[in-house]
Structure 1
C-alpha cells in the first residue's frame, strides 16, 4: 500500500475497506457527537471525568488482515461513561451478543420459552421524570410478586428506556408513528403537538416461562390480565395498553426482543437534542441500574461470566495478520497498519476465539 510522507495510510485507502467503513461511518459521527455531549456534561461532573469523556476513543487498535476485510476491536481508551455516545454504542453491541447467548442457553439447557413484555404509562414532564421512573421500578417489583405471576415466571431481563417528544407540531413522521393516537384526538399534520416537551419512560422485559405456559390455561396470562395488573401496580387506571408476545427467535439478527433490551436507554437524537433535554435525562438516569437480571437469568449471567456458556458463543473463524492503529486528529482518524509478528499472530488468534470483542487480548 502507498503511504504518505508521514508513513500513515491515506484516508481513502482505509475508507474503502470493511474496517474503514466502521471507522469513518460509525466511529467518526459518534466522536463528533462526543464533543457536543462533553459540553453538556461539564456542569455535572469533575474536571477529571470530563477530560476522560472528551478523549474517549482518541485512539484504538483493530486486529485485521492486509486487506482490512475482517475486524476486531483490540484496544482503545474508552471512558466507559453511560452518557458517552461511543461507549453506549459499543456496550449495546456487547449486550446484544450476551443476551442472545443467555437466552439460547436457557432455552436449550432448561427447556424454557420467553415472553417479550413492554410496560408503559402516560408521558410526563421533565420535572416529573425521575419520580415516574421510581414509580415504575416499584410497580415492576409489585407486579412480579403477584401470586399468579410469581407462579409462572422463572426469571427476567428488564431494561428501562426513555424517549422524549420535542416536536412542537405534529410532523408527518410523528403522525405515521402515532396515527391511532392523533386520529383519536382529531389531530392532523401541522397541528400543535399535545405531547411536546414530554418524556415517556417504558420498560422492556424478556420473561422466562415454561413451555407449558402457552397451552395450559392455569398458567397463561392474557394481555388483558397483564394490563389490569399493571394498572393496579402503577395505581394508574389511565394506562391504556401493554404489549406482550411470544419470543419467536433468540438469534441476535432477527430477534426484536434481544435488540430492544440491549439498545440504549435513551436514543442519541433524544439525549443530545439540547442542553436542557440532556440535563433532564442526566438527572433522571444517573446512578440507576438500567438493565436488571432476575431469577434464572441472574443465575445464567454468573455462568456466562465463569465461561460455562462459551459453547453457545459463535466461533470466531477470522484470521488476523495485521494491526491497524487509528488516532483522532481533531476532525478525522489517521491510521497505520503493521503486520503482526508470528508470536503475536499465534497468541491473538488463539485468544480471540474465547474473549469477547472489545476486551483487551494482551
Structure 2
C-alpha cells in the first residue's frame, strides 16, 4: 500500500511500501550501515530491562521501555534516481543506554568534530592535534560515581587557566582547546568498572618546536599522576594525529557511552551492570569542549551532542542537495531479523 507524504520545500513524494525489498543502506564511502546489528542489540537491552523489572529492579518506566523496544523499527528513506538513500524519518527513543541511539550519536559526534576541526584548520593550518587516553585504577560499583567525578575534577588541573598547577605549565602554554569524553567499561574478569577519559588537544605548533615545550610520554604520565595525587603510575596513551586533517581528528572522536559489551553477559550479571550504569551515570555529561573547540562550536551554531534530539540528520558527508524522486518505508521484521519494505 502506497501513500503520499509532503517533504521539505512542499515536494510531495510517494511512499512505497509492501515490495518485500530488504534494506541495504550505504554510506558515501560505500560501507553498509549496520541497522540490523544495532536493532538486535537494542532488543537484547530491552530483554535485560524486562528481566530487571521481573526482579523488581525498576530502572526504566513502562513508557520509556516501550519507546526503547520500538526504537528504529520504522525507517523512511528518500531515494534518488540512482537508488541512493537518505534517511528522512525514524522513531528513535533517545534512551541513553540504547545501542541504536548511541550509534546515531556517535555518527553525529563525528560530523560535529569534523566541522569544528575543518573551521579550526581553515583559520590556522599550523594548529596540531594530540589524542590522549587518561586512566585510573578500576573501581567497584559502589565507588564508580565518585571515581568519575574525581577524574573530571583532576582533568581540570591540566587545562584550566583558573587553576594554578605547576606540573601543567608546559601544556597550558601551548594549549588552545580540547574535547573530552568520559567512557566507562566493565571488566568481566574482575567484576570492576574502568572509567577513563579520551581527549583531543588542540595545541600550537610550537609545542613540537623544542624540548622547552614538547612533552614526552614519561612527562605526560608524571603530569597525570601528580594531578590524580596517587602513588602509582597511571596508564596513559598519547599520540599525535599526524595527518592533521579534520577527518583524521574526527575519526578518534566517538560518542563514549557504549552499552553493547554488557549485552553479551549472562542475564543476572547484565542486570547488575546495567543497574550500576543506569543509576551512577544518570544525568552526567560525557562530552565537554573547551577553548577553541567550544568557541568554534558556538560560531557554527552546533547543537549540544548530548541533548540534541535530532538523530536523523547525522551525516557529515551529505553536503549536496539530495534529489529525491520517491520515498521508501522499511519496518524491522522480528521473524526474519531484517528491515523489509
Smaller-chain TM-score range? 0.7 to 0.9
How far does the alpha carbon of each residue in 1:258-287 deviate from its partner, in whole angstroms, 9 at most, with x for none? 334314323511366311111122222221
Is the counterpart of residue 323 in structure 1 residue 323 in structure 2?
Answer: no
Q: Is 1:161–1:201's contact at 8 Å kept on the other side of the alignment? A: yes
1:195-274 aligned within 5 A? 196-249=190-243, 255=248, 258-270=250-262, 273=265, 274=270
Aligned residue runs from structure 1 range 131-210, under 5 A: 131-145=146-160, 146=165, 147-167=169-189, 196-210=190-204
Going from structure 1 to structure 2, the CA distance change for 1:335 and 1:155 (only over 3 Å counts) comes to same
Count residues with an aligned counterpart: 294
The separation in 1 between residues aligned to 2:236 and 2:34, in whole angstroms, is 39
Cα RMSD between the aligned structures? 3.0
CA distance in 1, matches of 2:246, 2:264: 27
- The more displaced of 101-110 and 34-43 is 34-43
Distance 2:96 2:244 in 1: 26
CA shift, 1:164, in A, is 1.3
Consecutive unaligned residues of structure 1, counting only runs of 5 or more, are 1-5, 168-195, 337-362
Tell me which residue corresponds to 2:44.
33
Structure 1 residues 40, 158: closer, same or farther in 2, change over 3 A? Answer: farther
Give the Å deviation of 1:88. 0.6
More strand by share: 2
Q: Distance in 2 between matches of 1:265 and 1:327?
A: 26
CA contact (8 A) 1:97 1:252 kept: no
Identify, as 1 or 2, the structure richer in helix.
1
Offset from partner CA, 1:89-143 (integer Å, 9 cap, x none): 1110111121122112212213311111111112122222111111101110122
Aligned to 2:110: 96
